[in-house]
Amino acid sequence: MDNDAFFARLESEVTALGAYRASVIKIAGVETDRVFREMCAKNVCGNYGKCWTCPPDVGEIDDLIAELRSYEYILVYQTVTALEDSFDFEGMMAAGAFHNKLTENVREKLAGEKFARSLFLCAGGCRICEVCGKKTGEPCRFPDKAMASLEAYGVNVSKLAAAAGMKYINGQDTVTFFSAVLFDL
Ligand code: SF4
């Protein structure tokens, strides 16, 4: 099977699982910036230092960018969920839970693919455990499943969306999340 056919199959499998869109592009088209680490350090999300896959525990930004750049391909996928209005906090949380579940399902589904190696990245940090072991003073409970966010690896997600032919924002009263799978053949 040629690469294009393989990539098309990956994309259709991820959309069949619930992604709005999915696209494989070369990692060379991905823009990264160390500034995203500084934004994490401002701790707007409250997770800085509270999750094994979030900064600073996830690793040094330069090392992670180099790791990302060592791959050849990235499968980018997005979910787009309608909200009742821009104050729909419950809808926002449900959309995040839907996206996180999709990310876990993508990982499970693609685990059997013949990638030479792969790295699964999510939106906003690992959500596998209700309370991360980092908060309870334990080691990571599922190191084989834990996922870091695209931002933790310095990815400019709005530029990534454009590079993958997707919209970063999908209209009023919607919320969009992105995850990705880095891989080599
Ligand atoms: S698997 Fe659990 S303990 Fe490990 S990083 Fe994810 S949430 Fe934290």
Compute the average pLDDT of residues 6-20: 98
List of residues 6+ apart from 54 with CB closer than 8 A = 40, 47, 48, 125, 126, 148, 149, 152
Of residues 127 and 163, more confidently modeled: 163
User: Whose C-alpha lies nearest to ligand 1, atom 4?
Assistant: 140
The pLDDT assigned to 156 comes to 98
* Structural domain containing residue 51: 3-184
Tell me the CA–centroid distance for residue 95 and ligand 1, in Å: 20
Compute the average pLDDT of residues 10-39: 97
Compute the average pLDDT of residues 25-53: 95
The pLDDT assigned to 15 comes to 98
Compute the average pLDDT of residues 117-122: 97
Compute the average pLDDT of residues 109-122: 95
Q: What is the 3-state secondary structure (H, E, C) of the chain?
A: CCHHHHHHHHHHHHHHCCCCEEEEEEHHHCCECCHHHHHHHCCCCCCCCCCCCCCCCCCCHHHHHHHHHCCCEEEEEEEEEECCCCCCHHHHHHHHHHHHHHHHHHHHHHCCCCCCEEEEEECCCCCCCCCCHHHHCCCCCCCCCCCEECHHHCECHHHHHHHCCCCCCCCCCEEEEEEEEEEEC
Answer yes or no: is pLDDT of 1 > 70: no
How far apart, in whole angstroms, are the C-alpha atoms of residue 162 and residue 30?
10
What letter represents residue 157's amino acid? V
Total domains in the fold of the chain: 1
Q: What percent of the chain has pLDDT over 90?
A: 94
Answer yes or no: is pLDDT of 79 > 80: yes
The CB of 135 under 6 Å from ligand 1? The reply is: no
Of residues 117 and 125, more confidently modeled: 117
Q: Which atom of ligand 1 is nearest to the CA of 133?
A: 3
For the chain, the average pLDDT equals 96
pTM of the model: 0.95
